Amino acid sequence: MYTQSLDLPGQTPAALASVDTPDKRQAAFDARMAEDAKIEPMDWMPDAYRKTLVRQISQHAHSEIIGMQPEGNWISRAPSLKRKAILLAKVQDEGGHGLYLYSAAETLNASRDDLVDALHAGRAKYSSIFNYPTLTWADVGVIGWLVDGAAIMNQIPLCRCSYGPYARAMIRICKEESFHQRQGFDALLAMMRGTQAQRDMVQDAVNRWWFPVLMMFGPPDAASTNSAQTMAWGIKRISNDDLRQKFVDATVEQAKVLGVTLPDPGLVWNAERGHYDYSPLDWDEFWRVINGDGPCNRERLATRVKAHEDGAWVRDAALAHARKRARRDASAKAA
Ligand SMILES: [Fe+2]
Ligand SMILES: [Fe+2]
């Protein structure tokens, strides 16, 4: 069974195992934070730290799994065998990312069944971006270029997250996200070198995705309620607005190479700041979509619930097999 946990009972690092009063435990945890050391599953940690991680890691896992849908929709319609093979690999990677992350959440004593139930019941959040439709093949390329590109920007700092299993999961995930971003850019480049109709299709997709992608970094710092605490805990390393700015600055140059126009007249170089300025985002739209009323929220959730129900026989068979093996082992021991 794949696990993110490196610690086994009895191997708890001495610094935290040897302290036994609440004050001392908190002080040892704080010292760990101060020296930027990792927290591992068997270590003592404050309840709020654990809860925050379970929420963030599970929302991340849900996003990976729901994120399979917009592109999965195009696997049977990919324009060539090569593009189909690439897209299949990419969508399977996203499923794998979900599994590493659910495993990381389980190291915090969260139950995967509970997390999945919360998603299916609409109680859990996932990235707002996956509630937008993929109308043309160009959308698949734009998701790779912009959505996976934004995901990398968000996720690279998480490789240094203070919680060990999450940080280690992110290292592998980021390597795969890099492939996702490149395949998207490559698909778009091929279309931009094609016919005028293909170039128009790419531009239309960029026009529709640009602003929702910028919202993937979350609300502005001033309105982001959890940010200060998650920064202090070493879970979050760079603020929403700083990540968004880094993404804008990097992407403007890539858009020039592609030959597409980013759909924001306010996007201009600010020599004084040394960054690109951009227009204010429509945060009402963000909150509407994140709270369940985006173009595809209902469809995404219904598809996910159906996939889970259709897979019930696989889970039942795996459990029956495990029970049979346990019985066999028990009778072998008794003999
Ligand atoms: Fe992913
Ligand atoms: Fe990805």
Expressed in angstroms and rounded, the spacing between residue 177 Cα and the centre of ligand 1 is 6
**What is the structure's pLDDT at 223?**
83
Q: Rounded to the nearest 5°, which phi and psi values hold at 275?
A: -140, 165
Total residues found in the chain within this entry:
335
Q: Rounded to the nearest 5°, which phi and psi values hold at 270?
A: -110, 100
Residues 310-333 as b/e (b if ≥16 CB within 10 A, e otherwise) read eeeeeeeeeeeeeeeeeeeeeeee
Mean pLDDT of all residues belonging to the chain: 92
Does the pLDDT at position 169 exceed 70?
yes
CA dist., res. 29 & res. 48, Å (int): 13
Reduce the DSSP state of residue 77 to 3 states and report it: helix
Q: How many of the other CB atoms lie within 10 Å of CB of 162?
A: 23
Strand 268-270 with 275-277, pairing: antiparallel
pLDDT tier for residue 222 given thresholds of 50, 70 and 90: confident
Expressed in angstroms and rounded, the spacing between residue 262 Cα and the centre of ligand 2 is 22
Does the pLDDT at position 2 exceed 80?
no
Q: How does pLDDT run across 177-218, given as a tens digit for each residue? A: 999 999 999 999 999 999 999 999 999 999 999 999 999 999
CA dist., res. 111 & res. 330, Å (int): 26
**What is the structure's pLDDT at 10?**
43
DSSP one-letter string for 61-73: HHHHHHTHHHHHT
Sorted by sequence, the CB contacts under 8 Å of residue 75 that are 6+ apart come out as 84, 87, 88, 91
Mean pLDDT (whole number) for 271-295: 95
Expressed in angstroms and rounded, the spacing between residue 111 Cα and the centre of ligand 2 is 25
pLDDT tier for residue 22 given thresholds of 50, 70 and 90: confident
Residues within 5 A (CB) of ion ligand 1: 64, 94, 97
Which value, in Å, is the radius of gyration of the alpha carbons in the chain? 22
Task: Return the ligand number nearest the Cα of 177.
Answer: 2
Mean pLDDT (whole number) for 115-130: 96
SS3 content of the chain, % helix, strand, coil (to 5): 70, 0, 30
**What is the structure's pLDDT at 3?**
45
Sorted by sequence, the CB contacts under 8 Å of residue 286 that are 6+ apart come out as 128, 215, 219
Sorted by sequence, the CB contacts under 8 Å of residue 335 that are 6+ apart come out as none
Expressed in angstroms and rounded, the spacing between residue 136 Cα and the centre of ligand 2 is 19
Task: Return the ligand number nearest the Cα of 90.
Answer: 2
Q: How does pLDDT run across 298-327, given as a tens digit for each residue? A: 999 999 999 999 999 999 999 999 999 999
Task: Return the ligand number nearest the Cα of 180.
Answer: 2
Against a cut of 0.95, is the pTM above it? no
**What is the structure's pLDDT at 23?**
85
pLDDT tier for residue 17 given thresholds of 50, 70 and 90: low
Q: How does pLDDT run across 27-36, given as a tens digit for each residue? A: 999 999 899 8
Expressed in angstroms and rounded, the spacing between residue 33 Cα and the centre of ligand 1 is 28
pLDDT tier for residue 246 given thresholds of 50, 70 and 90: very high
- Residue predicted with more confidence, 233 or 5: 233
Expressed in angstroms and rounded, the spacing between residue 277 Cα and the centre of ligand 1 is 28
Distance of CA 233 to the CA centre of its chain: 19
Q: How does pLDDT run across 49-91, given as a tens digit for each residue? A: 999 999 999 999 999 999 999 999 999 999 999 999 999 999 9
The residue assigned the tokens 């009972």 is: 9
Expressed in angstroms and rounded, the spacing between residue 178 Cα and the centre of ligand 2 is 8
Burial of 289: CB neighbours in 10 Å, binned 0-12, 13-18, 19+: buried
- Residue predicted with more confidence, 250 or 224: 250
Provide the token pair at 167: 């940080």
β strands within 141-283, DSSP E? 268-270, 275-277
Expressed in angstroms and rounded, the spacing between residue 93 Cα and the centre of ligand 1 is 7
Report DSSP state, residue 75: G
**What is the structure's pLDDT at 8?**
45
Does the pLDDT at position 260 exceed 60?
yes
H helix and E strand count, the chain: 15, 2
Q: What is the 3-state secondary structure (H, E, C) of 101-165?
A: HHHHHHCCCCCHHHHHHHHHCCCCCCCHHHHCCCCCHHHHHHHHHHHHHHHHHHHHHHHHCCEHH
Q: Please state which of the ranges 83-92, 168-177, 216-225 shows the lowest mean pLDDT.
A: 216-225
